[in-house]
Chain A
Amino acid sequence: MPQRNVTIASSVGLHARPAGIFTKAAAATGAQVTIGRPGVAAVNAASLLMVMGLGLKHGETAELTVEGDGADAALDQLAELLSTDLDAAGV
Chain B
Amino acid sequence: MAGNTLTGVGVGRGIVLGPLAVARPAITLPADEAPAADGDLARVQAAFTAVAADLQARADSAEGTLAEVLGATAQMAEDPALIADVEQRLASGTGPAHAVSEAVEQVCEMFAAVGGYMAERVTDLRSVKDRVIAQVLGAPEPGLGELTEPSVVAAEDLSPADTSALDLTKVLGIVTEQGGPTGHTAIIAGQLGLPCIVRVPGVTELTAGTVVVVDAAAGTVTVEPDAALVQEVADRRAAADRLTQDTEPGATSDGHRVQLLANIGTAADAERAAATAVEGVGLFRTEVLFLEQQTAPTVDQQVETYTAVLRSFAGRKVVVRTIDAGADKPLAFAQQSVEENPALGVRGYRLVRTLPQLLADQLTALGRAQQETGAELWVMAPMIATPSEAADFAAAARDAGLKTVGVMVEVPAVALRCADVLQDVDFVSLGTNDLAQYTMATDRLRGELSDLLDPWQPAVLDLVAATADGGRAQSKPVGVCGESASDPLMALVLTGLGVTSLSMSPSAVPAVRAAVRGHSLARCQEIAAAARAARTASEARAAALELTDPQVKQLLGL
Give A residues with C-beta under 8 Å from B. Answer: 9, 11-12, 15-17, 20-21, 23-24, 27, 43-44, 46-50, 52-53, 55, 58-59, 84-91
The answer to whether the Cβ of B330 comes within 8 Å of any Cβ in the partner chain is yes
Identity of the chain B residue whose Cβ is nearest the Cβ of A58 in the assembled complex: B338
A-B contact pairs, 25 of them (CB 8 A): A9-B338, A11-B328, A11-B339, A11-B342, A16-B72, A17-B72, A20-B75, A24-B75, A43-B81, A44-B84, A47-B79, A47-B80, A48-B72, A49-B76, A52-B114, A53-B107, A55-B118, A85-B335, A85-B338, A88-B330, A90-B65, A90-B291, A91-B285, A91-B287, A91-B291
A53 to B81 Cα, complex, angstroms: 12
Contacts between the two chains (Cβ within 8 Å), count: 85
Contacts of B80 in A (CB 8 A): 27, 44, 46-47
A87 to B121 Cα, complex, angstroms: 17
Please classify the interface of chain A as helix (H, G, I), strand (E, B), loop, or mixed, using the class held by over half of its residues: loop
The answer to whether the Cβ of B3 comes within 8 Å of any Cβ in the partner chain is no
A55 to B342 Cα, complex, angstroms: 21
The answer to whether the Cβ of B190 comes within 8 Å of any Cβ in the partner chain is no
Contact pick for A53, options B110, B292, B331, CB 8 Å: B110
> Contact between B338 and A49 (Cβ–Cβ < 8 Å)?
no
The answer to whether the Cβ of B288 comes within 8 Å of any Cβ in the partner chain is yes
Contact pick for A84, options B82, B114, B287, B335, CB 8 Å: B335
A49 to B330 Cα, complex, angstroms: 23
> Contact between B68 and A89 (Cβ–Cβ < 8 Å)?
no
> Which 3 pairs of residues, A with B, have the shortest CB-CB distance?
A47-B81, A90-B65, A88-B291
Given contacts A59-B338, A91-B265, contact A53 B114 (CB under 8 A): yes
Given contacts A88-B292, A90-B65, contact A48 B330 (CB under 8 A): no
Contact pick for B81, options A15, A44, A89, CB 8 Å: A44
Identity of the chain A residue whose Cβ is nearest the Cβ of B287 in the assembled complex: A91
A32 to B157 Cα, complex, angstroms: 38
Identity of the chain A residue whose Cβ is nearest the Cβ of B329 in the assembled complex: A89
A27 to B294 Cα, complex, angstroms: 18
Contacts of B117 in A (CB 8 A): 12, 15-16
Contact pick for B68, options A11, A17, A43, A50, CB 8 Å: A17
A12 to B117 Cα, complex, angstroms: 10
Q: How close is B49's CB to chain A, nearest CB, in angstroms?
A: 15
6 more CB-based (< 8 A) A-B contacts, given A11-B339, A48-B79: A16-B72, A17-B332, A27-B80, A85-B330, A88-B291, A91-B65
Contact pick for B336, options A53, A85, A89, A91, CB 8 Å: A85
Contacts of B401 in A (CB 8 A): none
Q: How close is A78's CB to chain B, nearest CB, in angstroms?
A: 16
Contacts of A88 in B (CB 8 A): 291-292, 329-332
> Contact between A87 and B111 (Cβ–Cβ < 8 Å)?
no
Q: Which of A17, A44, A46 has the most CB of B within 10 A?
A: A17
Contacts of A16 in B (CB 8 A): 72, 117
Contacts of B285 in A (CB 8 A): 91
Identity of the chain A residue whose Cβ is nearest the Cβ of B445 in the assembled complex: A89
Identity of the chain B residue whose Cβ is nearest the Cβ of A59 in the assembled complex: B338
A15 to B76 Cα, complex, angstroms: 13
Q: How close is A36's CB to chain B, nearest CB, in angstroms?
A: 13
Identity of the chain B residue whose Cβ is nearest the Cβ of A83 in the assembled complex: B335
Contacts of B339 in A (CB 8 A): 11
Contact pick for A48, options B65, B76, B265, B287, CB 8 Å: B76
The answer to whether the Cβ of B71 comes within 8 Å of any Cβ in the partner chain is yes
Q: How close is A31's CB to chain B, nearest CB, in angstroms?
A: 13
Contact pick for B64, options A9, A12, A47, A91, CB 8 Å: A91
A43 to B85 Cα, complex, angstroms: 13
Contacts of A15 in B (CB 8 A): 117-118
Contacts of A27 in B (CB 8 A): 80
Q: How close is A30's CB to chain B, nearest CB, in angstroms?
A: 13
> Contact between A89 and B107 (Cβ–Cβ < 8 Å)?
no
Q: How close is A83's CB to chain B, nearest CB, in angstroms?
A: 9
Contact pick for B72, options A20, A55, A58, CB 8 Å: A20
